[in-house]
Amino acid sequence: MKNLLLLLLLCSIGMQCTSSQEDTLAKPTAQKILPKQKNEFRPNIIWLVAEDLSPVIPSFGDSTIQTPNLSRLAAEGICYDNFYSPSPVCAPSRAAISTSMYPTHIAANHMRTGPWFATDMPEDMLRRFDHLMPKGVNLYEALPAAGVRMFSEYLREAGYYCTNNSKQDYQFRCSLTAWDETSNDAHWKNRQAGQPFFSIFNFNVTHESQIWRRAKDSLWVDENLEVPVPPYLPDTEVGQQDVRRMYSNIKMMDHQVGEMLKELEAQNLLDSTIIFWYTDHGGPLPRQKRLLYDSGLKVPMIIRFPDKRAAGTRDDQMISFIDLGPTVLSLTGLTPAQVDGKAFLGPHKVPDRKVIYAAADRFDAQYDCNRAVRDKRYKYIKYYQPEKSMYLPVKYREQMAIMQELLRLEKAGKLTPEQALWFRTSKPQEELFDTQTDPHELNNLAEDPKYANKLKELRAKCEAWVNSFDDTGIIPETELVEKLRPNGEELKVAAPTIRMDKGKVALSCPTEAATIGYQVASPKHTPTNWTIYTKPFELKKGDTLKVVGDRIGYRYSEIVMKTP
């Protein structure tokens, strides 16, 4: 208990740090792992991640439905009111979460760069996914700088059992050494006794696709429930029904969260586990997902600590998805690597952000290029292709009845002024919104001289961010792919080397910053996951050793050695 209180005290001290310094970007460097102290408390950490959901639950001010399990988490934890994705769509968001890097910094910004499940897929099957890529652009993976890893690798090296159940939509093939388990069955229960764990559980029921796929299912809410319809959406019977379905799906997700809490309680893990609940970007409805308005970027987050520290409180610091990884490492006693993200809790907490940044580029085959910066009140959006219409058709989204209703009204000339804003045939070069007085971001203040200073300030911050690294959305994607893969050649990790060192096996890899993983199989045991190599180890007679070198954006290399 003393160790737990010490850790929580460090976290509390970290939360109180403030500074006026601007955010900076650092080159990635290798992770430093603190030595484990005797009897050191290492908390379990679990992420409960809903999909496609804005802050439309009671804990964040929307009382349309009741969510008893999320309300319990909020009552026992901390609600974060300024939490943002750097992208309004899932795959770039997960790239940011898993690497702690901005998607535009690692060529993960276009939706999609290629299905993660396309690795080793036959050519005839790949053609089924042609609609995800524009003509002339081949599949490719995000490519971070050397030293950028999936942050779960650091936890595994420190002894954590890491599981992902089971989204792998990262814009790159999942590192072989990132997880002990990644599947629909992945679970902390498979760890060794006493081993700390980091586990992710994803809840798909709130995904945009579930609006139309569950359209004929019974509702978890009253079929005549009065629902708030945002002014940019049609307040018709069709529109209300899809909004009602969204709230019904939230109720289902809340129930699933409750089942996870029951499981933690049944295993006496609540008193040793930090629980994060958040969503992967903004809401599922039209003009939410895929746009840089708060409806696409702003999400709710609740964190519950084992001793219910700061229970029932709110935190308004500006937080980006890229900060999640460094924060988990900080809370577990590890020193975060120097990446774009920064810890917002724990002993390694750094000064609060003053602004957050976001980007939206290609969605499936539709190109655009938009950047945004937001402080606690004002949002600035820069449109690099103002000649394009605000609305870009996405076939996937057009399966939704409320989207079809919008298109019907637009064709009939019956859109309200608020709805018509999305269907403008061109865009302004800039938009500025006061999100406090205009939460739906409908009144552009960029031309209002009263806001000239704020416009100038946020414009400069946006330009500085874009110029702080090679923004991979600014150049044509064909040029980007050629830069990443000259002459179409796939990058590949060099084959690892095996040598004996004082009777033990020592491994190395010539490729800079490659992670080395290994498996030792015996006649009685065949491992299913990869151990991350950190120091020489012994082999027994009859063992078979498999070694793999891996790095994000590269094809891994594998070698096998069998002992006599």
Contact call for residues 561 and 545 (beta carbons, < 8 A): yes
Q: Name the 3-class secondary structure at 156.
A: helix
Please give the DSSP secondary-structure letter assigned to residue 491.
P
Short-list 408, 272, 329, 314, CA closest to 80: 314
Residue type, 255: H
Contact call for residues 51 and 90 (beta carbons, < 8 A): yes
CA dist 518 and 516 (Å) reads 7
90 is catalytic: yes
CA dist 29 and 40 (Å) reads 26
Q: Name the 3-class secondary structure at 66.
A: coil
Strands (E), 51-178: 78-84, 161-165
Secondary structure percentages of the chain, helix, strand, coil, to 5: 30, 20, 50
CA dist 4 and 184 (Å) reads 32
Strands (E), 28-77: 44-50
- Of the candidates 90, 369, 462, 509, the residue annotated as catalytic is 90
CA dist 58 and 22 (Å) reads 33
CA dist 504 and 265 (Å) reads 43
531-532 and 515-521 strand pairing: antiparallel
Q: Name the 3-class secondary structure at 144.
A: coil
Question: Rounded to 5 degrees, what are φ and ψ at 205?
Answer: -60, -25
Q: Name the 3-class secondary structure at 21.
A: coil
Contact call for residues 362 and 290 (beta carbons, < 8 A): no
Active-site residues, by number, are 90
